[in-house]
Amino acid sequence: MFPGFPVSRRVFLALGASAVVAACSSTDESRVDSVLGTQPATTSTPTSTVATVANTTTTPSVAPYTSPGWLAAENSLEGTSAWRIDYDISSRRRAAMPGVIEGFADTTSARPGQTVSLYVATAAPTWHVEAYRMGFYGGTLGRLIWRSDELEQPWQFEEPSMERETRMHVSNWAAATSFTVDDTWPPGSYLLKLVSSAEGAQYVPLTVRRDECSASLVVVSAVTTWQAYNPWGGRSLYENFGAGSRFDRSKVVSFDRPYDLAYNWGSADFLTHELPLIALIEELGIDTAYATDIDLHTSGLGENDERDAVFANRSALLTTGHDEYYSRGMRTCLERARDAGINLAFFGANAVYRHVRLEPNKDGLPYRQMANYRSINDDPLSKTDPMEATVQWRNAPLNAPESELIGVQYFAAGITANLRVVNPSNWVFADTDARNGQAFRHLVSIEVDGLGPPGREPENLEVLATGPVNYKDSVYNHAMTYYSHPSGAGIIATGTIAWINALDAAVWSDEVTTKFVRTATANILRAFAAGPCGAAHPSTGNAGRYRSSVKPRE
């Protein structure tokens, strides 16, 4: 019931460089104190801690989310660190903890008036759920929005099922409780904290989406990539963690299962690859809306009368540290946004790399399964609808490399190199004091992008930073790039997953790098929030100057 399998090797690479929790520091550039470095950890049990928080947190009246400045007002409210799960225990032992609890929601995002069902399993006598909106909140990073009553939970005896042909694992649990998102839930990224009466805890991520809110930016949570790496039940899209060959991976994965306890206590990549960026945005007070990859999908395909709804009345879409798995609807949404003058920021690497299909589950609930066969010969849909084959976007029959959209493309994982600035006069680096050729230690790491084929990238692609990367006995070049689109949109790509991780000095342990990354990121956020950045800051093509073919290491 609680497999507790370790996360895949690639997930451990991603988590290793960023610790378990990441956050942001003050925007005062004279100091780079980390919030996590100055905020004491919660030491009491989840239940007693939350009881205190529930008595001291004031729930505001309905916030005017449609009025400019609502986000700054929201972050002025009292925050709490009680959202944290602070057990110091190895991932392999988590499943054996007393009171272990796991669960998932029936949706990745919810809107006002929507009822969300939670599927929960625990051996503890009772449990409850706490809903924390994640932001800045003076450095605490969370605010308690709602807490359920204490609930009795009968043991869920149903064993997880595995679909033999696709190796898909599904929980087969019954719904344990439900709640309705009302007007006291501001737009944002949430962690639902499941707390058992025997001191167990787990996170369930949830996005509250409000298209009517005043916002210039949209942060998109990479839930499809989270699910690809999720090993709950015994398999991910990468590996088999049970008996048999490790290569006997899933070809389809289900959202009807928890994120594994070993996967950051069920928060997946949110704490490491998203929260530091969200905290900085909210510290800056830039009104922002929130969505998930599933929302990109429905908006891109126009399903449920949602064409372009994610970016309507916005000036920029922001993808986070690791946003690899893309359906056709997701990519179409980003392309249509760019073509409409909406800025795009890729604050990571390896984005838009693998093509997936989103499918309904056995009960007909849409977007609850994700297929990624990887080989056109293996995908049963490839003969009837080859353009929906789940291969890499750059491969046949799709032949659409991610560099056409992003400017750069993926080339390496599990490496560590320095980011070297080659264009310090560019607006992105204003007030960073960066010098030509200055290197920032280890900032190019986890997964990395570089320049692709010259005929498959924008002609005016401007390289901002680049440098050599050793990978598998060869030397590649990392690239951080920017280009302006004829629509007026600006598109920037950091080319490294570690960019968001480096926003927190305590995690990164290099204040010089953190200050540089925070200042450059703030420049991007402010410029992208102001309107079509490509019109205000046209790019100057220089990629040919920095392009180099892969060569063997000496």
Q: Can you name the residues that pair with 146 across neighbouring β-strands?
A: 131
User: Quick one: pLDDT at residue 93?
Assistant: 60
d(CA 94, CA 290): 31
Closest by Cα among 319, 327, 326 to 352: 326
CB-CB neighbours of 511 under 10 Å: 15
Closest by Cα among 310, 127, 150 to 204: 127
Highest mean pLDDT among 47-56, 154-163, 310-319: 310-319
Inform me whether the pLDDT recorded for 277 exceeds 60: yes
- The number of residues making up the chain comes to 554
Q: What angle separates helix 293-301 from helix 328-339, to the nearest 10 degrees? A: 70
pLDDT tens per residue, range 370-406: 999 999 999 999 999 999 999 999 999 999 999 999 9
- The lowest-confidence range among 7-16, 317-326, 328-337, 362-371 is 7-16
pLDDT tens per residue, range 337-350: 999 999 999 999 99
Residue 374: helix, strand or coil by DSSP? Answer: coil
Q: Do the strands 316-319 and 462-471 form a parallel or antiparallel pair, or are they unpaired?
A: unpaired
d(CA 25, CA 28): 8
d(CA 124, CA 553): 56
- CA-to-CA dists, residue 474 to 411, 412, 550, angstroms: 11, 11, 7
Contact 203, 265 (CB under 8 A): yes
Give the helix/strand (H/E) hosting 126: strand 126-134
d(CA 97, CA 100): 6
User: Quick one: pLDDT at residue 551?
Assistant: 66
d(CA 456, CA 543): 12
Give the mean model confidence (pLDDT) for residues 112-134. Answer: 95
d(CA 304, CA 313): 19
CB-CB neighbours of 257 under 10 Å: 22
- The upper half-sphere exposure of residue 240, i.e. CA atoms within 13 Å in the direction of its Cβ, equals 14
Q: Taking the model in full, what pTM does it have?
A: 0.88
User: Quick one: pLDDT at residue 509?
Assistant: 86
The residues spanned by each domain of the chain are 9-38+46-208+215-340+354-388, 403-552
User: Quick one: pLDDT at residue 472?
Assistant: 84
Fill in the DSSP letter of residue 67.
S
pLDDT tens per residue, range 526-546: 999 999 999 999 999 999 999
What residues contact residue 22 under an 8 Å CB cut-off, 6+ apart? 36, 271, 272, 275, 276, 500, 501, 503, 504, 507
Residue 353: helix, strand or coil by DSSP? Answer: coil
Contact 24, 63 (CB under 8 A): no
On average, the pLDDT of the chain sits at: 87
